[in-house]
Each structure stands twice: as structure tokens, then as C-alpha cells.
Amino acid sequence: MSRRPTSQDDPRYRDGPSDGGSAGVSGTDDAALIRQVQSGEVRAFAELIRRYQDRVYNTCWRFCGHAEDARDLTQDTFLHAFRRIGEFRLDSRFYTWLFRIAVNLSISHRRKARHRAAWSLDGAPGNDDASGSPGGRLADHAGEPPDERASVAEQRERLGQALRRLDEEHRTVIVLRDIEGLSYADIAEVLDVPVGTVRSRLHRARLELSEVMRPLEAQRKHA
């Protein structure tokens, strides 16, 4: 799981054939792979893990804040998916079904772990493209001067603090839309709510996040 997850447009994460994939299952679309798994072909599920493990790991990290816990949650997600693959409807998209499992497990884990010391969401490997939202993805500045990298680290710290203060509902939609980059339709499927609910929930979440971040930004300016 050391690879950095790429954007949602990466062919590895699309439903359908992988561009430039090697011979065999790597060039097979998700639906065909799932049919193979449902027929008892375990190797096909290994290919589904290869395609989606980075994005699932990144999502779990954003919820739990610990690399080891994120790895465990990722493994649990795929284990649950494998056990329930017979329930999967081929008219649905696999990755939204998989994300629903990951989100539910992550939320459950967070609720059970609230007694633990405060944890950090910062520095998680993942989709760090810029976004207009306060919760938008921060660019990877690894090749820039140390002072600029420090500035990005500070932004991540403030964002992590702000996200920790949001309620579960708002936090979830911010992570899925502004950090993971899922479409409104995909989020609606993951959360099992109408698209209109996703839009209104995200609007409220962004307003709340902006309000939470305002004093954090003020503290930074006066530090």
C-alpha cells in the first residue's frame, strides 16, 4: 500500500478495462472480474484489491488518522467485500459499493476509538490536488523549498484540526467529496441518500468547516 493514490481519472480506478494493463485479469472490467469471483475465481478478487486498495486505504486514513489502523480497516473492507461479493448487484458500480463498506467500518472504528488520545489526519498519502473548498486536496509540494513544504504542513495541520471538530455527517461528506473527489452521484450511492441530500449536506459542511477554520487562521496570523 505504499503507492500514492492518484486522481479519480486514473484508469486503474475506472469501472472498465485498465489502459496499458498486463495480460490476463488486469485488462478485465470490474463486472467481469466480479462474475469470476462469484464463480470461485479468487485471482480475480486479487485484481480488484490491486485496483482499489490505495483509494480505500486513503479514505480509511482520513477517518481514523493512524497508518496501522488504516491498513487494518482496508484489509477488513476487502474481507467484508469478499464475504459479501455474492450479494453484489452487477448493475451497481463496484467501487461505490466498496467505499460504502469502507466508510461504515471507518465510522464504526472512530466511534469505538473516541476515548483514545487526539489523532492527526495530516500527511495522509492520497489525492492532494488543489480544490476551492477549505477541505479541498492540498498539492504535493515535495519538490519545493523546505519553507514552502512547511507551509503546506501547517495547512494540513489546521485542516486536520478543523475536520476533527465537524460532526460525523459533515466530516464524511467533506472527506468523500473534497478530499477523495467522488461525484455527487457516487457519494449518494455510498451514503444511500438522494443526490439532493448530498448537495445540501455538503453545503452545510463547507460552511461549518469555514467557520471552524476561521479562528485557526486568525491564530496563525497572530502567532
Taking the domains of the chain in order of start, what are their residue ranges?
Answer: 9-119, 123-223
Reduced 3-state DSSP string for the chain: CCCCCCCCCCHHHCCCCCCCCCCCHHHCCHHHHHHHHHCCCHHHHHHHHHHHHHHHHHHHHHHHCCHHHHHHHHHHHHHHHHHCHHHCCCCCCHHHHHHHHHHHHHHHHHHHCCCCCCCCCCCCCCCCCCCCCCCCCCCCCCCCCHHHHHHHHHHHHHHHHHHHHCCHHHHHHHHHHHHCCCCHHHHHHHHCCCHHHHHHHHHHHHHHHHHHHHHHHHHHHHC
d(CA 29, CA 124): 29
pTM of the complete model: 0.67
Choose among 68, 70, 207, 218: nearest CA to 158: 218
Grid cell locating 161: 484540526
- pLDDT at residue 194 is higher than 80: yes
What is the domain class of 123-223 according to CATH? mainly alpha
Model confidence band, residue 62 (pLDDT cutoffs 50, 70, 90): confident
Ranges 10-14, 45-49, 130-134, 184-188: which has the least confidence: 10-14
- pLDDT at residue 97 is higher than 80: yes
Residue with cell 509540494: 141
> What local confidence, expressed as pLDDT, does residue 160 receive?
73
> What local confidence, expressed as pLDDT, does residue 36 receive?
95
Residue with cell 504535493: 140
Ranges 21-25, 146-150, 172-176, 201-205: which has the least confidence: 21-25
Model confidence band, residue 65 (pLDDT cutoffs 50, 70, 90): confident
Q: Just give the CATH number of 9-119.
A: 1.10.1740.10
> What local confidence, expressed as pLDDT, does residue 222 receive?
63
Q: How many residues are present in the chain? A: 223
> What local confidence, expressed as pLDDT, does residue 205 receive?
95
